[in-house]
């Protein structure tokens, strides 16, 4: 289980109202994922998430030591980075809805 799942589970355990951004709700909004390894930095992984509303988010990961590069972990960490960006935006959107 990754850090996003752990954080989502911990937040659910202390939830007091029905209003919360969930990991599942965000994942459901992902329409497409693309992973890129730039030619100039082949051990860097860039994840582009296109959401169902057309908005795009970018996450990235790269090992400090290129010798530690692992493509699978690079994709995982880059995707998590992009989802963390989405979490902030979804939290803002929920707050706007709650104050309307």
> What are the pLDDT digits (tens) for 3-25?
899 999 999 999 999 999 999 99
DSSP 41: -
Write down the pLDDT at residue 24.
96
What is the C-alpha separation between 16 and 36, in angstroms, rounded? 40
Beta strands in the chain (DSSP E): 30-36, 45-51, 56-61
Q: Average of pLDDT values for 42-65?
A: 98
CA 57 to chain CA centroid, nearest Å: 8
Averaged pLDDT score across all residues of the chain: 96
Residue 1 has pLDDT above 80, yes or no: no
């Amino acid at each position: 289980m990754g850090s996003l799942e752990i954080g989502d589970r911990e937040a659910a355990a202390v939830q007091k109202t029905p209003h919360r951004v969930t990991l599942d709700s965000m994942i459901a909004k992902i329409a497409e994922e693309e992973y890129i390894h730039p030619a100039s930095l082949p051990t860097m992984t860039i994840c582009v998430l296109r959401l169902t509303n057309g908005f795009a988010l970018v996450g990235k990961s790269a090992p400090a030591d290129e010798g530690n590069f692992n493509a699978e972990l690079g994709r995982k960490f880059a995707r998590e980075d992009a989802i963390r960006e989405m979490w902030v935006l979804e939290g803002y959107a929920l707050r706007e809805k709650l104050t309307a």
